[in-house]
Amino acid sequence: MNQLFAQVALPVPMRSLFDYQVPSSLQCSIALGMRVLVPFGRRKLVGVVLGLSPDTELAAEKIKTLETLLDDACVLSDLTLEWLNWASQYYQHPLGEVIHTALPVSLRKGQPAVRQQKAWQLTDAGRDTEPASLNRSPRQRALLERLASAPQPHALLLQDFTSSLIKKLTEKGLVEETYLEHLPDPDWPARIELADKPKSNLEQSLAVTAIAHGSDRYSCFLLEGVTGSGKTEVYLQAIEPLLAEGKQVLILVPEIGLTPQTVQRFELRFGLPVGVLHSGLTDNERMLVWQQAREGELGIIIGTRSAIFTPLQSPGMIIVDEEHDSSYKQQDGWRYHARDMAVVRARLEGIPLLLGSATPSLESLNNALSGKYQHLSLKSRAGGAQAVRHQLLDLKGQKLEFGLATAMQQRIRQHLQAGHQVMLFINRRGYAPALICHQCGHVEECRRCDRSYTLHRSLNKLQCHHCGDAKTVPPHCTQCGHVGLQPVGLGTEQLEQGLSSLFPGISTVRIDSDSARGKDKLHSLLDEINQGAHQLLIGTQILAKGHHFPNVSLVVILDVDGALYSADYRAAEKLAQLITQVAGRAGRAHIQGELWLQTHHPQHPLLQDLLHNGYQHFARLALQERRFAALPPFSYQALFRSEANEARQAHEFLMQVKGLLAGRQGLTSIGPLPALMEKRQGRYRMQLLLQSEHRTGIQQHLHGLMSQIEKLPLAGKVRWSLDLDPQDFT
């Protein structure tokens, strides 16, 4: 037989495929998209076959032979491979690692992909036994005859025989255990039982009709619906006709939004089991949902970020709920954005994509306003919850204790005395902030860019993260001459320790990603809160997501300025989303909720706009600002990060990367600058930001650059990575 070589993608951080000789015994059965076990160095790796060819460019002595063919059918379809290949190019991440992330852990480890079920078959002795010889035990005889023609699944046998009977024949050596491939049973469309649905309003009906109109091809919808406007009801009605046709629906939700109630709502409406994928599952549980989805046995699959990789036999629609949520962006390794991956997947599969949010990302909103996506709005709020009152507290010249103004402390006391709960929001700590004058509120700004400087304590410098300009820290305010400029948000870090002295005897609880880590930890904390075990709640973004706090009557956001004057240009957008989400969650019909913002700039146009005109209006204003500043979504970015024990090395590496890009048209590079969190775990972190007006600009320049970078001597010494469409500059 002729020689055959397989090009295999392996989970290693290298941008090449690896050639292996295919043993002649496997040449007939091997195909693209199957997994193989191959020798690699002195270990064995599971890889995926991406090419088959009668020849290879590699020297014969280097070629090894693949060890095992792990599948008899492909685990990744042509379409999926095309999708992942695109992703590997777009994110400039090695294809082998991309494929590795897209597979469930069990498959990465080489476990079989087909679902197996326990079954029973006759042994040689069993086949030689005359059924008549068992005439004295008719049940045993019946079982023997049942197995005579073919092995039978365990579950099926139990309908007619007891397990002790099977055991008896096993002990006699006539019957033995075996495994049969599970036969898919995709007959759920026939079992749909629609529950009563609420009467939908005009906006909802319009949205559902619009979606139904485009449901047989790729199209993208942005459903912009204020909190409580019934987005989920639109999802339910939009997928109803698809499910009836036997089409499957994949729903992505934020990490924190995947509650039993969410899942139940879909289950109850259609009377169907829903496949659920989240981080708390075991490898086997994930694998089962993956298999059921692939075999078409599930109509609805709900999951967090990585659920975007769930294979579907007959895809009907993808829904991304709370599409603005930052948990859709992977923050290490391959930094993909599940929402963006969903757009490309929907286009390849030729199915509609529905993005829903009360506070859409500026990216999606821009696509909707420019007509790239269809824009659907839900503006009326169902139910009678009272709107939360928003108010601003001017911090200029105020006495602050642990970041709280005296007037605010009194207000908090009033609410506590009334028996209500109070929620205090602080931004994540450790960020490089702007420098602000507490007397007049003046913020040092870069003259060239009109943007605030960022304070980098270790260098004792102000740096503009927009153009890279640096200057020394001024001794006094350039506006009013006041001496003693302070970083924005000073004191809020000590808030938690200070609360016990400010509010003695009041039970305080902190909720952030650390304290809420672990299975069900967050939920038990939330239960405690709603049962009234704590009166003062301190938290970050996590508190605002998807949970209701009926007894909270006062919400305070301590350092609004931190977001208004952050080097992270998305901070204002995130703040606006936070405020809007919180306003939708606190209080209840009989308690008038209050939301207070502490700021040195109560007249700031973005704040004023948000408070008076709401998120929808604010977002459009913010988009205009982005357009003027040529920031995303009106430009495209890629961020190189580097990290080393010595700041010099991290900096020098990025200087060399910048050097490789020198003189390229249509591409600007900013930096290297210290990361907003300059140091982490004792290592210095620097960043180099690339920006282009066109997406293809970034792509073209990155093409080929990565392999050049890998050849730099420093590339092996510093930890470095590329983040495409960066969302977070920490």
* Annotated binding-site members for Zn(2+): 437, 440, 446, 449, 464, 467, 477, 480
Residue 37 binds DNA, judged by CB under 7 A: no
Among 41, 371, 384, 475, binds DNA (CB under 7 A): 41
Q: Which stretch binds DNA (CB under 7 A): 40-48, 139-147, 303-311, 444-452?
A: 40-48
Round to whole Å and give the CA distance between 17 and 148. Answer: 48
The tokens describing 321, both together, are: 């709920």
User: 130 or 332, CB closer to DNA?
Assistant: 332
Residue closer to DNA, measured from CB, 18 or 453: 18
Q: 14, 148, 194, 533: which one contacts DNA (CB under 7 A)?
A: 14
Q: How far apart are CA 696 and CA 606, in angstroms?
A: 32
- Interacting span for DNA (CB under 7 A) from 8-16, 207-215, 402-410, 668-676: 8-16
Residue 283 vs 401, nearer CB to DNA: 283
Burial class of residue 174 in the structure, from the number of CB atoms within 10 Å of its CB (0-12 exposed, 13-18 middle, 19+ buried):
buried
User: How many chain residues interact with DNA (CB under 7 A)?
Assistant: 20
- Whole-number minimum distance, CB 706 to DNA, in Å? 13
- Tell me: does residue 40 bind DNA (CB under 7 A): yes
Q: 36 vs 554, which CB is nearer to DNA?
A: 36
Helix, strand and coil in the chain, % to nearest 5: 35, 25, 40
Quick one: 185 or 710, whose CB is closer to DNA? 710
Tokens of 121: 């078959």
Which is nearest to 424 in space by CA: 406, 434, 409, 435? 409
Instruction: Closer to DNA by CB, 44 or 617: give it.
Output: 44
Strands 248-252 and 300-303, bridge-based pairing: parallel
Query: What string marks each residue from 55 to 84 as x (binds DNA by CB under 7 A) or -?
Result: ---x---xxx--------------------
- For residues 516 and 386, the answer to whether their CB atoms sit within 8 Å is no
42 binds DNA per the rule CB under 7 A? yes
Residue 54 DSSP SS3: coil
Q: Could you count the other beta carbons within 10 Å of the beta carbon of residue 372?
A: 12
Q: Check residue 13 for interaction with DNA (CB under 7 A).
A: yes
406 binds DNA (CB under 7 A): no
Look at the block and give the residue holding tokens 């210095």: 684
Which lies closer to DNA via its Cβ, residue 260 or residue 333?
333
Provide the b/e sequence for 526-559 (b: ≥16 CB within 10 Å).
beebbeeebbbbbbbbbbbbbbebbbbbbbbbbb
Collapsed DSSP state (helix, strand, coil) of residue 724: strand
Residue that has been written with the tokens 């929402």 in this structure: 339
Q: Are strands 116-122 and 68-69 parallel, antiparallel or unpaired?
A: unpaired
590: contact with DNA by CB under 7 A: no
For residue 379, report the phi and psi dihedrals to the nearest 5 degrees: -105, -20
Site mask, DNA, residues 681-720, x = CB under 7 A?
-----------------------------------xx---
**DSSP state for residue 291 in the 8-state scheme:** H
Cα(335)–Cα(344) distance, integer angstroms: 16
If binding is defined by CB under 7 A, does position 16 make contact with DNA?
Answer: yes
Among positions 9, 18, 392, 607, the unique one binding DNA when judged by CB under 7 A: 18
Find the shortest distance in angstroms from Cβ 47 to DNA. Answer: 10
Contact criterion met (CB below 8 Å) for 17 and 51: yes
4, 19, 96, 653: which one contacts DNA (CB under 7 A)? 19
- Write out the binding residues: 437, 440, 446, 449, 464, 467, 477, 480
| 83: Cα separation from own chain's centroid | 18
Q: Does 649 bind DNA (CB under 7 A)?
A: no
Q: Measured from the CB atom, is 336 or 453 closer to DNA?
A: 336
The binding site for DNA (CB under 7 A) comprises 12-14, 16-20, 38-43, 58, 62-64, 716-717
